[in-house]
């Protein structure tokens, strides 16, 4: 924990009347959980402030909140921008953070790019939402943690840690979660939401588990073709949430899920339970954590290239065991 930078963040929050929070593109649970958790905490603590969350909407994270639509750019001019869970500027969900008077970066990914007037990165935290709780713990006399904030932050922590299964989870993670319970968290509501699935999605999940492929050295992968989404009537967000279903096989240290996004751009969700994959993702215009990264491939043809590299990485890893 960097107390000096947390102090700087706290002072900036106190000094601005308008605060705008920016999650990344295609926001996941941690991006939105962090954003809305911070929004609710600031609003409850400082009645004179107006706090917005802007950027792309997400059906999956709508349970936590829906971003504000700010049509007037002049709102940003005198505002403090807080950019959360985003390692590099190109992934920002709304480019108007550049219009803000001051900006803060709060992130837990391996550093890719330096930006922001105050940059706070803590890669030891398995979710960016936990950094908001570091801020709260350091300045408890100034902040109020409401049920809405607790629910949002728990959503972020729970989804980004794979329900507390991923590396980086430790005793301090659970001490912070206990504090969320003490602040009114209704974990049952969150679990019920995450565990509810449509019949179409359940059928698609079965299709993925019956039709995945595997390289020679145990890289498990599946390509979500547009025709599959149409056939099973599931959306892209639902489909790509299945990435960790491919990581449950023995002797398969790396897995990948490919999908075609807007404008036909193919992207990859890359995961590992052994070798570090962030450098591999970086080779393909991506990045992230050592065990969880993403890459932008552009075309389906390039999936074969990253699979070949991933297979060699898996081979090296197995030979080193």
Q: pLDDT value at position 90?
A: 86
Q: pLDDT value at position 88?
A: 87
Q: pLDDT value at position 269?
A: 95
Domain 3-194 -> CATH class:
alpha beta
- How far is it, in rounded angstroms, from Cα 225 to Cα 299? 12
How would you label 140-163 residue by residue, b for 16+ Cβ within 10 Å and e otherwise?
A: eeebebbebbbbbbbbbbbbbbbe
163's CB contacts (< 8 A; 6+ apart) are: none
Q: To 5 degrees, how large is the angle CA 203–CA 206–CA 211?
A: 125
pTM given for the model: 0.87
Which residue reads 């390509």 in tokens? 223
Residues counted in the chain: 321
- On whether the CB atoms of residues 303 and 258 are closer than 8 A, the answer is yes
- How far is it, in rounded angstroms, from Cα 288 to Cα 270? 9
* Domain locations along the chain: 3-194, 199-319
Q: To 5 degrees, how large is the angle CA 278–CA 289–CA 298?
A: 50
Q: Which two tokens stand for residue 199?
A: 């019949």
- How far is it, in rounded angstroms, from Cα 29 to Cα 92? 15
**pLDDT tens figures, 69-82:** 999 999 999 999 99
Q: pLDDT value at position 184?
A: 96
What angle in degrees, to the nearest 10, is found between the helix axes of 147-160 and 171-182? 150
Give the DSSP H or E segment for 22: strand 18-22
Q: pLDDT value at position 160?
A: 92
Q: pLDDT value at position 290?
A: 87
* pLDDT above 70: percentage of residues in the chain: 100
- How far is it, in rounded angstroms, from Cα 239 to Cα 73? 35
**pLDDT tens figures, 189-212:** 999 999 998 999 999 999 999 999
Q: pLDDT value at position 113?
A: 86
- Residue 114's DSSP bridge partners are none
Q: pLDDT value at position 257?
A: 97
**pLDDT tens figures, 87-139:** 889 889 999 999 999 999 999 998 888 999 999 999 999 999 999 999 999 99
What is residue 314's DSSP assignment? H
Domain 199-319 -> CATH class:
alpha beta
Give the DSSP H or E segment for 133: helix 129-138
3-state helix, strand, coil in the chain (%, to 5): 45, 20, 35
Q: Which two tokens stand for residue 242?
A: 């299945």
Can you list the residues of the chain whose pLDDT is less than 50? Answer: none
């Amino acid at each position: 924990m960097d107390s000096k930078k947390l102090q700087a963040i706290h002072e900036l929050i106190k000094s601005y009347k308008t605060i705008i929070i920016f999650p990344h593109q295609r926001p996941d649970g941690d991006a939105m959980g962090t954003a809305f958790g911070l929004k609710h905490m600031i609003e409850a603590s400082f009645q004179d402030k107006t706090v917005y969350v802007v950027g792309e909407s997400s059906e999956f994270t709508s349970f936590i909140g829906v971003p504000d639509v700010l049509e007037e750019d002049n709102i940003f001019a005198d505002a403090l921008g807080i950019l959360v869970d985003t390692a590099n500027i190109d992934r920002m969900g709304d480019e108007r953070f550049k219009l803000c008077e001051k900006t803060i970066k709060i992130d837990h990914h391996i550093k890719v790019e330096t930006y922001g007037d105050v940059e706070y990165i803590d890669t030891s935290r398995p979710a960016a939402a936990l950094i908001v709780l570091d801020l709260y713990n350091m300045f408890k006399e100034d902040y109020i943690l409401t049920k809405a904030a607790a629910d949002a932050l728990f959503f972020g922590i729970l989804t980004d840690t794979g329900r507390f299964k991923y590396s980086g989870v430790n005793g301090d993670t659970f001490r912070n979660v206990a504090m969320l319970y003490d602040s009114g968290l209704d974990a049952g509501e969150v679990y019920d939401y995450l565990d509810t699935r449509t019949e179409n999605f359940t059928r698609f999940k079965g299709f993925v588990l019956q039709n995945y492929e595997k390289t020679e050295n145990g890289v498990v992968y599946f390509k979500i073709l547009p025709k599959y989404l149409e056939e099973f009537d599931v959306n892209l967000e639902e489909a790509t949430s299945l990435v960790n279903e491919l990581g449950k096989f023995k002797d398969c240290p790396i897995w990948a899920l490919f999908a075609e996004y807007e404008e036909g751009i193919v992207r990859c969700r890359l995961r590992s339970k052994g070798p570090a994959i962030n450098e591999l993702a970086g080779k393909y215009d991506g990045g992230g954590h050592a065990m969880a990264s993403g890459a932008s491939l552009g075309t389906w043809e390039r999936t074969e290239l990253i699979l070949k590299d991933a297979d060699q990485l898996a081979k090296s890893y197995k030979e080193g065991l």
